[in-house]
């Protein structure tokens, strides 16, 4: 597909594909952790990602990042999202925090982004967007609390809070510094760095032990392709093209969508209050994702993620 056509489809298909694939991530992680430690799980997952990206890079031969600063920016994003965020989520689940508990804590991410964005990226978060974010948080919390078994350990809560902070920092950093890099090469560098960072830790702490089962293989495949090779790339691509607080509001729709997936695939019931929460979350996201008038200088803000292609070129972690 021509790049221009892809850029035009991104505003419509990007959020939908991201939400569908991301929503199944907590379930896949929980299944995978039955057979492997949290760090080893990420090492295997990123090895699968690299097994896909390396042959593609050899065939396409994309341009390398230009200069030390470009390499540094890729390394920071890899550390914040591919290493810290996913490792901390895995640790939180491993420490017997329920998936519902982790989801509730991580759903604070859009609020954290909105609080930090004015200082970090110069993005203005107005009253309407704050109203949408508040509704989104309330709706997501209603879905999680009424559907899920909220269990948590102190260390598990700490890990989940740190994960929310890590993806918040990664989102803002990507909007501030991530532009103009080749999509394929940025993915390859970031996952390569994350793999190298986690490999010695997984060996030292977990011995790289894996209990290979069909369910583990399915979980790894889903997370490697669905989350690492598609969802994260779409998230960062949308962040680069628009306001971080606006894009992060999409996270409020993850719990409602996960509930609908559980209803369709597992036959789980959805309490009446959760249905109301889904509607509130959807209304909040609609309000929060409306475009606001520009208020910051172009140098400090990315292009709107529904604007025409052009200008800064492709996003790197534009990934996916």
Residue bearing tokens 């559980």: 262
Q: pLDDT by residue for the chain (320 residues), tens digit each?
A: 444 555 566 666 778 888 888 888 877 888 899 999 999 999 999 999 999 999 999 998 888 887 888 889 889 999 999 999 999 999 998 888 877 778 778 888 888 888 888 888 777 888 888 898 899 889 888 887 876 666 778 898 899 999 999 999 998 888 888 666 777 888 899 999 999 999 999 999 999 999 999 999 999 999 999 988 898 888 877 877 765 677 788 888 887 887 777 677 666 677 888 888 888 988 988 888 776 555 444 444 444 434 433 333 333 333 32
Angle between helices 254-266 and 3-23 (to 10 degrees): 70
Read off the pTM: 0.77
Category of 43 on φ-ψ map: left (φ > 0), alpha (ψ -120 to 50) or beta = alpha
Residue 162's pLDDT is 95
The two most distant CA atoms of the chain are separated, in Å, by 55
Residue 9's pLDDT is 60
Category of 267 on φ-ψ map: left (φ > 0), alpha (ψ -120 to 50) or beta = left
Which residues, 6 or more positions from 214, have their beta carbon under 8 angstroms from its beta carbon? none
**Burial grade of 233 (CB within 10 A; 0-12, 13-18, 19 or more):** buried
d(CA 107, CA 158) in angstroms, rounded, equals 15
């Amino acid at each position: 597909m021509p790049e221009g056509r892809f850029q035009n489809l991104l505003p419509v298909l990007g959020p939908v594909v991201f939400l569908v694939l991301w929503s199944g991530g907590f379930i896949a992680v929980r299944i995978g952790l039955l057979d492997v430690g949290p760090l080893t799980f990420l090492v295997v997952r990123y090895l699968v990602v690299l097994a896909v990206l390396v042959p593609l890079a050899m065939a396409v031969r994309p341009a390398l990042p230009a200069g030390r600063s470009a390499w540094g920016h890729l390394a920071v994003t890899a550390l914040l999202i591919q290493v810290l965020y996913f490792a901390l989520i895995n640790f939180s689940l491993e420490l017997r925090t329920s998936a519902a508990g982790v989801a509730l804590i991580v759903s604070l991410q859009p609020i954290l982004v909105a609080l930090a964005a004015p200082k970090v990226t110069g993005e203005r978060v107005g009253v309407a967007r704050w109203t949408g974010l508040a509704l989104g948080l309330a709706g997501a919390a209603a879905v999680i609390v009424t559907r899920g078994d909220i269990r948590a350990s102190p260390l598990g809560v700490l890990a989940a809070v740190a994960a929310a902070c890590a993806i918040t920092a990664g989102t803002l950093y990507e909007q501030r510094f991530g532009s103009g890099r080749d999509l394929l090469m940025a993915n390859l560098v970031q996952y390569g760095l994350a793999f190298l960072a986690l490999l010695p830790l997984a060996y030292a702490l977990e011995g790289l032990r894996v209990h290979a089962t069909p369910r583990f293989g399915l979980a790894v495949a889903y997370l490697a392709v669905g989350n690492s090779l598609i969802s994260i790339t779409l998230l960062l691509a949308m962040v680069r093209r628009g306001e971080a607080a606006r894009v992060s509001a999409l996270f409020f729709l993850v719990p409602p969508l996960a509930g609908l997936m559980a209803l369709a695939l597992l036959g789980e019931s959805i309490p009446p209050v959760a249905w109301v929460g889904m509607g509130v979350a959807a209304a909040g996201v609609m309000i929060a994702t409306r475009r606001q008038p520009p208020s910051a200088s172009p140098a400090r803000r990315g292009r709107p993620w529904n604007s025409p292609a052009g200008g800064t070129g492709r996003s790197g972690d534009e990934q996916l």
